[in-house]
Amino acid sequence: MLLFKLAFRNIFRQRRRSLLTAMSLTGGYVLSVFSFSMSAGSYNNAIAFFTQDHTGHIQIHKEDYLQRPKIHKYIEAPEDLSAMLDANERIASHTLRVFSPSIAYSDTDNTPAQVIGVDLDRERTTSTLAAKVSEGSYINSEVDGEGYYSAMIGAGIANNLDIGLGDELILISQGADGSIANDIYMVGAIVGDRTSSDRSTVFLPLAAAQEFLSMYGAVHEVSILLNDDGRAREEAEALQNLLPDLSVDPWQVVEATFYQSMQTDKRGNAVFMGIIIFIVFVGVMNTVLMSVLERTREFGVLKAIGSRPAKLAAMITLETILLALISVLLGLLISIPLILWFTYSGFALPEPMDVGGVLMSHITGELSPFVFGAPLLLILGFAIIISIPAGVRAALNSPTEAMRSH
Amino acid sequence: MSVVISTTDVCRFFGDDDETLVKAVDHVSIEIERGEFTAIVGPSGSGKTTLLHLIGGLDNPTSGSVNLSGTNIAAMSGTALSDFRRDHIGFIFQAYNLIPVFSAEENIEYIMLLQGIDAAERKRRVTEILKQVGMEGLADRRPNKLSGGQQQRVAIARAMVSHPEIILADEPTANLDSRTGIALLDLMKELNERHNMTFVFSTHDEKIMKRASRLIHMQDGKIVLDEKK
């Protein structure tokens, strides 16, 4: 207790210097927390947009469809699979899709288009497709009075073909059985704008697309949303064990390019944060060393009267940790309201940003134990490290030499 | 009377070559018995403080041995030596050397804390020793709120509170006025007689020499005269 008291009082011995050091540590902590929050928040937002836009947390395909998509690599009779996924409590929702490249025609023009057949009801709860409808309304899977299915087209196709709601759209593609697929659809909705990633996509009701592509109830992809988005890898592995004939991949594999660039970016951020914290700690180390140097005589006396060298080193470490803890507590008082605001309000962007057809108007942070805990551990770890040379110096000094200094 | 301090051919040389070599303590062999009130005297640079530091285990001899109560402290490691100093030796310094962030009471208590003495016993001993050195009522004051004489009283209390066998005092009266110095010497003499503690001073203060039961005269690192009164 007396050692604690000694360490505590030594901090307040040079108030101005301790205050400056504490301010530097507090600033470093707040900056680190904010940076961690922004980084985690941005990536979580990006991942949420990505996975909810279309990828989902897990995807199931036939064979190597993900790497080499071919129309004939489809999952036959997915009803049992769908029922199994519906019964899984860890799965929030799933949807079934078919894909095919095609050429879209109007009366006067044509343009390449990606046809995606979607289970309209399931898609509504699994992706943000319904929210991306910019004109018209989310279609249904029924044929109209004239026997046409409705289609939702990307704004790019609408523009290229100069068509709009209620106009006819002709699609030509290749069926899974090798036949030429062609059919006429009525434009029921426009999706996104001309910059959206869906600008060249035609969304059809699943049954219409299966009929168009001669797929007879089969699908190319099952996209799954989990209740816990952090368990994509584990759940994918569990599903893979249940479905050995299919390929089950978490979003990190499906969107490998995005995931790898995110990881690289995170490492870059970590290096950047490390540099900031290193700069802060060079200043702190200087303070700690100065404080030890000017008390050399005192350490000599403490050793002379019987303090063990290790105890002196422990006292210096304790002083540094106490100063770091006080600074982190101050930092917490500042950063908690800051991160609360950042998480629930965030920065308004001057112009809303289109992320996969969804408009993002704010940059927000993340509120989590990691955001506050990681910088705390980092600062305490650094505090211990920088106190080591000072402690070793105090411990190794001969009492006679130490007491000669002034 | 038993011997508590003995040095055998102890040397402490500084410098590496013949030109810079300083023989601060040069083949000194002494024996000091329990309860002696000994003063090591001599001019500045005669080696008396170095010898005191060697006896106290604050410095390592170049050669020779230093035995305290039968233990050769010259062969001890850092931690063992720290523990030995803590349990067997009390130090009084010329510049008092109190811990500035501790009160008088805490300065005295610190060494007992290192010894692992329980709080109640620490409190009892601190109260008793403060009374003995005439510092009752000043227990809560920090060193910067005490006069030189008061600080040295606290230093004496700190040196004695752990009941060491040996008290080593390096010029304890050098920074004090004559009256305060006499008062403190009388106090140390009284404590020496009451507790039969062994006191060894390094000094050139006549007042100490007058009260000492033994005077060891040093010059150029050697003992030139050892007189018992």
Do A45 and A160 fall within a single domain?
no
Q: How far is B59 from chain A (nearest CA, A)?
A: 6
* Residues A115/A202, Cβ–Cβ less than 8 Å: yes
pLDDT tens digit sequence for A148-177: 999 999 999 999 999 999 999 999 999 988
Instruction: Name the residue among B82, B87, B91 with its Cβ closest to that of A307.
Output: B82
Residue A399 contacts B, CB cutoff 8 Å: yes
Q: CA-CA-CA-CA torsion for A76, A77, A83, A84, nearest 10 degrees? A: -40
> Could you tell me which residues come within 8 angstroms of residue B186 by beta carbon, excluding any fewer than 6 positions away?
B211
A57 in a structural domain: no
Residue A294 contacts B, CB cutoff 8 Å: no
CB contact under 8 A, B100 and A403: no
Residue A296 contacts B, CB cutoff 8 Å: no
Do A92 and A46 fall within a single domain?
no
CATH for B80: 3.40.50.300
Mutation for B interface: A5, A305, A404, most B CBs within 10 A:
A305
User: Mapping DSSP to helix (H, G, I), strand (E, B) and coil, where does residue A183 land?
Assistant: strand
Span A378-384, mean pLDDT?
87
Q: What is the pLDDT of residue B1?
A: 63
Span A5-12, mean pLDDT?
82
Give percent of chain B with pLDDT exceeding 90: 65
Span B137-165, mean pLDDT?
92
Q: What is the pLDDT of residue A294?
A: 84
- Residue A361 or B103, more confident: B103
Query: What range defines the domain where residue A12 resides?
Result: 2-51+259-404
Beta bridge partners of B216: B40, B226
CB contact under 8 A, B106 and A13: no
Number of Cβ within a 10 Å radius of residue A35: 18
Question: Among residues A90, A52, A369, A368, which one has the least CA distance to residue A234?
Answer: A90
Q: How far is A294 from chain B (nearest CA, A)?
A: 13
Query: What range defines the domain where residue B170 resides?
Result: 3-228
Beta bridge partners of A133: A191
Q: Which of A383-387, B38-42, B125-129 has the lowest mean pLDDT?
A: A383-387
Question: Among residues B142, B185, B194, which one has the least CA distance to residue B163?
Answer: B194
Residue A404 contacts B, CB cutoff 8 Å: no
Chain A residues with beta carbon closer than 8 angstroms to that of B53: 400
- What sections of A200-231 are H helices per DSSP? 206-212
pLDDT tens digit sequence for A345-374: 888 888 876 554 455 677 888 899 999 998
Chain A residues with beta carbon closer than 8 angstroms to that of B61: none
* Residues A240/A250, Cβ–Cβ less than 8 Å: no
pLDDT tens digit sequence for B170-216: 988 888 788 888 888 888 888 888 888 899 999 988 888 888 999 99
Using alpha carbons only, give the angle B118, B121, B127 rounded to the nearest 5 degrees: 135
Helix then strand then coil, % of chain A, to nearest 5: 55, 20, 25
CB contact under 8 A, B97 and A297: yes
Question: How many whole angstroms from its chain centre is CA A179?
Answer: 43
- The position carrying tokens 């006396």 is A301
A392 in a structural domain: yes
Number of Cβ within a 10 Å radius of residue A19: 11
A238 in a structural domain: no
> What is the pLDDT confidence band of residue B17, given thresholds at 50, 70 and 90?
confident
Question: What would the two tokens of residue A133 be?
Answer: 């409808």
Do A282 and A161 fall within a single domain?
no
A59 in a structural domain: no
Do A76 and A199 fall within a single domain?
yes
Q: What is the pLDDT of residue A284?
A: 78
Residue B13 in this model has a pLDDT that exceeds 80: yes
CB contact under 8 A, B56 and A304: yes
Average pLDDT, chain B: 91
pLDDT tens digit sequence for A293-342: 888 888 899 999 989 998 889 888 888 888 889 999 999 999 999 999 99
Do A83 and A133 fall within a single domain?
yes
Q: How many angstroms separate the CA atoms of A125 and A86, rounded?
A: 13
Q: How far is A392 from chain B (nearest CA, A)?
A: 13
Q: Is B87 exposed, middle or buried (0-12, 13-18, 19+ CB in 10 A)?
A: middle
Residue A228 in this model has a pLDDT that exceeds 80: yes
Q: How far, in Å, are A66, A165, A221, A388, B49 from residue A305 at the CA level?
A: 74, 93, 77, 23, 16
- The position carrying tokens 């600062």 is A379
ipTM of predicted complex = 0.89
Residue B36 in this model has a pLDDT that exceeds 60: yes
Residue B70 contacts A, CB cutoff 8 Å: no
A133 in a structural domain: yes
Question: What would the two tokens of residue A184 be?
Answer: 């006429």
Q: How many angstroms separate the CA atoms of A127 and A191, rounded?
A: 13
Residue A406 contacts B, CB cutoff 8 Å: no
* Residues A33/A342, Cβ–Cβ less than 8 Å: no
pLDDT tens digit sequence for A37-70: 988 888 888 788 778 888 999 999 998 898 999 9
Average pLDDT, chain A: 89
The domain tally of chain A equals: 2
Do A114 and A211 fall within a single domain?
yes
Chain B residues with beta carbon closer than 8 angstroms to that of A303: 82
Residue A13 contacts B, CB cutoff 8 Å: yes
Q: How far is A227 from chain B (nearest CA, A)?
A: 57
A292 in a structural domain: yes
Q: How many angstroms separate the CA atoms of B42 and B226, rounded?
A: 12
Residue A315 contacts B, CB cutoff 8 Å: no
Q: How many angstroms separate the CA atoms of A297 and A309, rounded?
A: 14
Span B57-66, mean pLDDT?
92
Q: How far, in Å, are A126, A218, A341, B50, B71 from residue A236 at the CA level?
A: 17, 21, 35, 76, 71
pLDDT tens digit sequence for A129-142: 999 999 999 999 88
pLDDT tens digit sequence for A80-109: 999 999 999 999 999 999 999 999 999 889
Q: How far is B62 from chain A (nearest CA, A)?
A: 15
Do A115 and A173 fall within a single domain?
yes
The domain tally of chain B equals: 1
Q: How far is B106 from chain A (nearest CA, A)?
A: 8
First-to-last alpha carbon distance for chain A, in angstroms, is 28
A239 in a structural domain: no
Q: CA-CA-CA-CA torsion for A343, A346, A349, A353, nearest 10 degrees? A: 10
Which of A196, A219, A242 corresponds to the end of one domain?
A219
> What is the pLDDT confidence band of residue B166, given thresholds at 50, 70 and 90?
very high
Q: What is the pLDDT of residue A406?
A: 62
* Residues B182/B176, Cβ–Cβ less than 8 Å: no
Instruction: Name the residue among A5, A309, A400 with its Cβ closest to that of B82.
Output: A309
A341 in a structural domain: yes
Do A88 and A16 fall within a single domain?
no
